[in-house]
């Protein structure tokens, strides 16, 4: 039986029109130098598409990321979507293929043409916004230090005017971690209803571990993040948990309902993903685009062989190799050891290591579990679920 695999496409590699101080993918320029202006060709994408659509089950899922994927230009994306449809028709003649596209962008280049394309092509758009200008512009600037907040918000307005489905991705850094109520209030005040928060802890350039080298400026501590989650949860409940969706809380509610989490970080194993770099190189996760985890190049090695490789299976097993404290933890069924990227130790390895944010989650679950359970029951009843 054919398996499902989701694809994370890096069409411009790490190239970006911003220079966010905390970006984890900028250092991939060491693997794929910008001097060559890395860009995914349609020929390479077609070679990947044919193997993907012939060898794997629907839905065919593409998440376009960077760097900044819109640097490829609108004509590239128009051609790529047409190529997806054509190859799907050729591979599955006479049947309707289920293809989904999403894109994560800083929003700076979005205009009416982009918004119209996203609407017509049914893209889900994620826009990076770290809060009001004083929070967002602390770390999200261009290469000359100019702020990006106004341009990002202008991009959001173009999406709104065209009725494009979008969500907001917010990095929790030292710029906003102490102000969760203000942050959520501002996001809700902007009529943002689909929110995702990602904590910032990135090692210094050239290192794999904050244990080994310390963290980038702006990174937060487990204690800070634990308090942030508590206060954010309280503000979320006060704002109306059924009207504002916060991805991490939503996934906890799903787990309490007995459903699987939607995000791989809260699942038992890492997801079935393939990262497609601009030149055809494939990796198992965009947080692990590094030499050790190169699965092969789709122009040289069949995709089926790449996904069946020993490296890919070793990567997917890594998450389930838990620290002894995790195995005995009463909250394991909600956390599942978190994403391996937060477990990297001074040795550069993630197997059996304690997650960096373990104290954050313990603190949150110990203080808010009963309230979270009440939210799950309330939401479940409104949806007619047997809770």
Q: Which residues are catalytic?
A: 286
Instruction: Give the Cα separation of 315 and 263 in Å (integer).
Output: 17
If we measure between CA atoms, which residue out of 12, 14, 76 comes closest to residue 43?
76
Contact (CB, 8 A) for 208 and 348: yes
């308090």: which residue's tokens?
A: 227
Instruction: Burial-class residue 121 by CB neighbours within 10 Å (0-12, 13-18, 19+).
Output: middle
Residue 275 belongs to what H/E stretch?
strand 273-277
Q: What is the C-alpha separation between 4 and 2, in angstroms, rounded?
A: 7
Residues 6+ apart with CB under 8 A from 140: 18, 20, 106, 128, 130, 147, 148, 149, 152
């Amino acid at each position: 039986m054919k398996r499902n695999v989701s694809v994370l496409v890096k069409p411009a590699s790490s190239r970006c029109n911003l220079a966010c101080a905390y970006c984890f993918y900028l250092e991939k320029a060491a693997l794929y130098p910008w001097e060559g202006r890395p860009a995914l060709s349609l020929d390479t994408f077609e070679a990947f598409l044919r193997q993907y659509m012939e060898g794997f089950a629907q839905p065919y899922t593409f998440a376009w990321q960077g760097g900044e994927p819109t640097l490829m230009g609108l004509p590239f994306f128009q051609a790529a979507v047409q190529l997806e449809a054509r190859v799907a028709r050729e591979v599955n003649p006479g049947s309707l293929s289920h293809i989904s596209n999403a894109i994560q962008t800083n929003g700076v280049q979005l205009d009416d043409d982009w918004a119209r394309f996203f609407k017509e092509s049914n893209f889900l758009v994620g826009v990076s916004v770290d809060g009001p200008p004083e929070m967002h512009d602390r770390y999200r600037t261009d290469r000359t230090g100019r702020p990006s907040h106004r341009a990002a918000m202008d991009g959001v307005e173009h999406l709104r005017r065209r009725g494009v489905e979008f969500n907001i991705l917010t990095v929790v850094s030292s710029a906003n971690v102490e102000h969760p109520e203000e942050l959520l209030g501002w996001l809700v005040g902007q009529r943002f209803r689909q929110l995702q928060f990602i904590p910032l802890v990135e090692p210094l350039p050239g290192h794999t571990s904050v244990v080994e080298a310390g963290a980038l400026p702006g990174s937060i501590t487990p204690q800070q993040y634990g308090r942030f989650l508590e206060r954010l949860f309280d503000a979320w409940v006060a704002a109306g948990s059924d009207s504002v969706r916060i991805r991490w809380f939503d996934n906890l509610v799903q787990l309490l309902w007995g459903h699987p989490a939607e995000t791989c970080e809260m699942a038992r194993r890492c997801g079935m993903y393939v990262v497609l770099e601009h030149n055809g190189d494939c990796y198992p996760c965009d947080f692990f685009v590094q030499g050790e985890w190169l699965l092969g190049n789709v122009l040289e090695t069949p995709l089926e062989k790449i996904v069946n490789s020993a490296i890919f299976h070793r990567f997917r097993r890594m998450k389930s190799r838990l620290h002894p404290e995790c195995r005995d933890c009463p909250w394991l069924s909600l956390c599942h050891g978190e994403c391996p990227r937060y477990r990297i130790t001074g040795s550069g390895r993630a197997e059996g290591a304690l997650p960096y944010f373990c104290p954050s989650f313990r603190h949150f679950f110990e203080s808010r579990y009963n309230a979270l359970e009440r939210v799950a029951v309330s939401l479940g009843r409104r949806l007619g679920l047997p809770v």
